[in-house]
Each structure stands twice: as C-alpha cells, then as structure tokens.
Amino acid sequence: MFLPPPPETVSEWADNNRMLTREESPSAGLWNTSNTPYLRDIMDTFTDKTTQIVTVLKATQLGFTEAAINICGYTIDRSPCRIFYVMPDEDLAKDFSVDRLQKALKNTPAIAKKFESAERSKALVVRYPGGFIRLSGANSPAKLASWPIPRVIMDEVDKFPAWTGKEANPVSLIKERTKNWPWRKILVGSTPTTEWGYVYRSYIESEAHYQFYVPCPECGHYQILKFHSLKFPTVLDDQRLFRETYYECENCHHHIHDREKLPMLRKGKWVSDEKLDYQPKIVGYRLNTLYSPWVSFGEVAKEFLKSKDDPKELMNFVNSWLGEPWKSKTAEVKAKSVLDKRTTIPSGIVPDETLILTAGVDRQQGYFYWVVRAWLPRMSSMKIANGSANTWDDLRVIMDQYWPCEDGKRKMQIVLYAVDSGYKTEDTYDFCQYAYGDIDVAIPVKGASQSLSGYYKRTSLQPNVKDRSWHRSMILYEVDTNKFKDLIFYRMNKELGEDGCWMVDADTDEQYANMITAEQKVRDGDKEVWKLIGKKDNHYLDCEVYAYLAAMVMNVQNLQTKKMEEKSVIKKNTEDEMIPSYFDPEG
C-alpha cells in the first residue's frame, strides 16, 4: 500500500519554513509552534476542510499577528491565491506591509524569491506567482465591497471606523460578499472594546466558542486561566510582585509559577463551550495575557494595580490584557446606591484627612444649586454639603465660609469652585472676573458639545471683546461631562472606605440622590452616553461634575499628604493675611 502524505497544515509549514529574525522574536531562528501552542489550531483552521470564519478575541502579547503572517506565507508557498488584508486605515496597512509582512516573507527562504518587495508607495499590493496580498484600510467601504477574494484577514477590527448605519458595517459586508465561496477563509481578530464592538459581535455569532484548557502541574486538572485565580500582593512593589505572584489551581490550590507555564501550554487543548456533533464552519477563540509565554504572572498583576483606579486605564486592562469586552457597571445607577455611600460624618463637617475643598455650581434661571466636596488622600472624596442659593451674594457667603473639621479645632475653606456659564454667560464670566480680584477662586465652566480627547479643555477668554471691560483674560473650562460622569459612577461603585471611593455626608437626602441618578448611560450609535431619563432634574449631578473638575484643576491626584507645599492660592479678600495652607490660621 502506498498512501499519499497527509496534507500539510499551516503550523507544520511554519515549523519547517518560517524564519524569525531577532527583530521579530526573542528566539530567532526557525518558527516553533510549541512555543505558542495555542496558535496551532487557530492557524490550522486555514488548512482544514470545514472552517470558514474564525474570530479571535485577542489580548496583548500572544503572537496573533505572527500567526496571520504564517497564514500568508503558507498561502504564497503552498496554495497561491489572493488574500485581502484589512487594517483600520491605509497608513497602518502600509506600515504593516513594509515593517512586518514583507520583512517576514523576505527572511523566509522558501518564499523569499516568490514575491516582489514593494516600496512604501506601492506597499498595498504584494505580488507572488498565482496571486497577491491586497492590503487596505477599512475606511473605504466601497473598496471593501468590490473584491472577489476568498481569503480575508481583518486585523484590529475594533479600531475600524464606527458603523454609522448609513454605510454597510465593514465586517458584515466582507462576510456577506464572500458567502458564495464554499472554500472561503476569513480571520477576524482584535482586542475587544465593548460588547457592541465588531470583534465581540463577530465572536458571539460563532457556532462554537473555544477556550484553552491547561492542566495543573500538580493534580492534572484541566482549567481555563482566569484573572481571579491570580494571587498577588496588592501593593505596587515590583520586587514583591515578581517574587510573590502565583496562579492558584482551582482544584488543588497548588501555587503555579511562571516556569511551569510553558509545559502546561504544551499540554493545552481548545474545548468548545458547546457540545457539537458536527464540525462548525464559524468558530470563535478567546485568550488572555495570562497565557502569554513572554509575560510573567507578576507583570499581569502589576498592570492591573497600575490601572485599577482609573476607569479608562482599567478598561484598557480588561480589553488588552484580559481580552474581554468592557461592561460598564455604571449603566444603571439607583438612588439607593448614592445613599449607601453615606458616611457617619454629618453635613457641614470636614473629614480630618481632607486635603482640599472644592465646589461646583449649576446656574438656573433665578437660582443656583451648589455642592461642596472634600478631597481625601488617594482620590477618595466626600460631599460635605449641598443646597441652593437665590443670588450671587448668597452664593458667595456659602462659597467663602469656613467649614469646621471633625477634630473641632481646624477650619477649611473652598480652594476653587466652578460655576456653570451656560445660562447668562457674560454675567457668570463677570462674576468670575471680579469676585476675587486677580485670583482664580471661581472659574467659569461649560459642558463641551462633543467628546474631548481629555477630561477638559481650556479656552482663553479675552478681556476686550464684546461689552467686556475686564482687566485680565480668564480661562473657560469646557468639560467632557460623559467622562466625568463615568469617573463619578466608577468611584461610587467602590466599597465605602476603599481607596478612591466617592462618598456623601450622613445627612444626604433623597432629593440629592434622585438628582445624581437622574441620568442613565444609554447606547447612542456605537457609543455610550449619559442621558436624562424622564423629566427629572439633574442639577446636583452637574454640580458634582464641576466640583470634580475643580479638584482636577487643583491637581488633587498629586496631593497625597496633609503636609502640602505652602501655597497661597486662596485669599478670602485682600485684607486677609496670606494663608499658608488651606486651613484657617485661627483654627
């Protein structure tokens, strides 16, 4: 009997042919799939007989782009046809073609002579006998639609332009366009963003969802590596993190260390969440950075500790390191969750640890709402009072008063307050200009009409335009209210007393709580935004946003101890002595 050899898979081809240089990998030389064993099945979906669409929720540092390059190399060498490689935009596609793809192909002797290098200006087409790789940016849906190509790789799809509904969703469009090719192969990969992002939606649409199970070196129990089984000291101390972090077996509680990881990976296997009795055509894979052979358990713990106190950075950790979509815990906030954040300190009393007091003022026709907030070390904060005022004079009395501390000895004053300038704008500007001489104690603020790259933007207001007769220019602070509300609700979700918790005084009532929760986070196209629900008032929520802005302007995140540098930012009025700290000298 003479049997033909079994068909070669992508991983076998890579193990025999793909050469890595030191630029591409710490272990230069011939590619070895057993260094990243989880990539084997993913690459080999391109050489099996059934799989058509593969979606990978990828975390950072797992080697997925190398897997995609291996797929291209195999195609050029063994089954030449056209490949469509789609990146978020054309510039990225050119960079990828010149800096990674073409270099890798050139370094691999089996194919080095089969393709023509293309310089950057022509880098979007890489030709070889029997086909070409056409690279494209996803920002051109028309181009996407017109290519009859059976092999498609879409990388970083969650950075593709947001789908507006006017044109076709680029990922669905390509799937749709290729559906008449029975031998089509589509790879969709990205670090996820939210559950509405392209990659997660594509993953959810899969028939089978694979997770990578690895055996405990002690008891042999197969399990998925999960972040909550990573045990580490909760201080940002590199030495301790690298020495003490371990992974705890969910079965025998054995402490698994970094050196045991690669042997575990080599015995790993992909198992589908579903028990299917057929070979699925559309499959999904997900994997987090705990599996990376290049990232230690201690590094994952360190990244978490660095990110946990800022919602933007935590979202990045969840997306890029855990490979999971970000689920906003803030979507529904109940008035009760505000009242749960009441401390035992009565209204009007400043907690002893307080670094500074700030306030926010929302201006309405005929009255002002205000909130005063105490900022404690490590970004914890507590509202100490809230209320309304009818006139500028009434407001000033409240903003300028001395608030007693818990210890009964000292008193503190508000260091900076932000006043909404949306209603009777020039009137508010004038107040901020004149109320405190040359010193910024009251600053004008308004909500930005579009989302900003940071939390706020400073715009200079000039003294001699319109009817102004000011003696100095001023700064108008435009705030990205969505970002501030995210921050507030993120901090509100922390346990009372935990670092970074957003708290309220013991006398906080339901009227305040109802205003804070008058808005809910809702979906608007591909984004989530805060919207007023029903006809409720949200004045105190605006006040809290402005009080938070004032704290940010004061750089509160860097004020960590009671012994602050001597500053004389506040002066009640010119007759007062210079106040060397934010405490009342008579206290």
384: amino acid identity, one letter: I
Q: Is 216 in the site for Zn ion (CB under 5 A)?
A: yes
Going by C-alpha positions, the residue among 551, 499, 141 that lies closest to residue 372 is 551
Site string for Zn ion, 377-406 (x = CB under 5 A): ------------------------------
CA distance 471 to 462: 10
Of residues 8 and 218, the one with the C-beta less far from Zn ion: 218
Q: Which is nearer to Zn ion, 245 or 428 (CB)?
A: 245
Q: How far is CA 481 from CA 8, 231, 423, 430, 531, in A?
A: 56, 36, 17, 24, 11
Q: What are the beta bridge partners of residue 151?
A: 83, 185
Region of residue 104 (phi > 0: left; psi between -120 and 50: alpha; otherwise: beta)? alpha
Contact 196, 160 (CB under 8 A): no
Nearest 5°: the CA angle 86, 88, 94 is 70
- CA dihedral (17, 18, 22, 24) in degrees, to 10, reads 180
Q: How far is the CB of 255 from Zn ion (least distance, A)?
A: 10
The smaller minimum CB distance to Zn ion, of residues 28 and 219, is found at 219
Nearer to Zn ion among residue 205 and residue 248 (C-beta) = 248
CB closer to Zn ion out of 249 and 474: 249
Burial of 316 (0-12, 13-18, 19+ CB in 10 A): middle
83 binds Zn ion (CB under 5 A): no
CB closer to Zn ion, 161 vs 217 = 217
Partnered with residue 524 across adjacent β-strands are 527
Taking the complex as a whole, how short is the minimal distance between the CB of residue 156 and Zn ion, in angstroms? Answer: 36
Question: Helices then strands (H, E): number in the chain?
Answer: 19, 27
**Least distance CB 286 / Zn ion (angstroms):** 23
The rounded distance, in Å, linking the Cα atoms of 8 and 13 is: 7
Closest CB to Zn ion among 216 and 300?
216
The CB-of-268 to Zn ion minimum distance in angstroms stands at 15
Least distance CB 247 / Zn ion (angstroms):
10
Nearer to Zn ion, 161 or 215 (CB): 215
Q: Which two tokens stand for residue 125?
A: 């087409």
Name the one range near Zn ion by CB under 5 A: 194-202, 210-218, 345-353, 508-516. 210-218
Q: Report, in Å, the least distance between residue 216 CB and Zn ion.
A: 3
Shortest spacing between CB 229 and Zn ion, in angstroms: 11
Nearer to Zn ion, 103 or 231 (CB): 231
DSSP string for residues in 182-197:
TT-EEEEEE---BTTS
Strands (E), 292-380: 356-364, 367-375
Residues in the chain: 587
The region of 6-14, 121-129, 213-221, 551-559 touching Zn ion under the rule CB under 5 A is 213-221
Minimum distance from CB of 253 to Zn ion (Å)? 7
Tell me the window of 98-106, 110-118, 212-220, 222-230 that interacts with Zn ion (CB under 5 A).
212-220
Least separation, in Å, of the C-beta of 321 and Zn ion? Answer: 24
Quote the CA–CA distance of 310 and 297 in Å, as a whole number: 22
Give me the least distance between CB of 245 and Zn ion, in Å please.
17
Minimum CB distance to Zn ion, residue 250 (Å): 8
Q: Does 361 bind Zn ion (CB under 5 A)?
A: no
Nearer to Zn ion, 250 or 400 (CB): 250
| Interface characters, 63-82, with Zn ion (x: CB under 5 A) | --------------------
CA–CA dist 457, 480 (Å, integer)? 8
Residue 228-267 contact track with Zn ion, rule CB under 5 A, x = bound: ---------------------x-xx-x-------------
Neighbouring CB atoms inside 10 A of 491's CB total 21
Among 89, 218, 258, 260, binds Zn ion (CB under 5 A): 218
Task: Find residue 200's DSSP bridge partners.
Answer: none
Distance separating the N- and C-terminal Cα atoms of the chain: 101
Check if the beta carbon of residue 416 is closer than 8 Å to that of residue 443: yes
Query: By rule CB under 5 A, what count of residues binds Zn ion?
Result: 8
List interacting residues with Zn ion (CB under 5 A): 216, 218-219, 221, 249, 251-252, 254
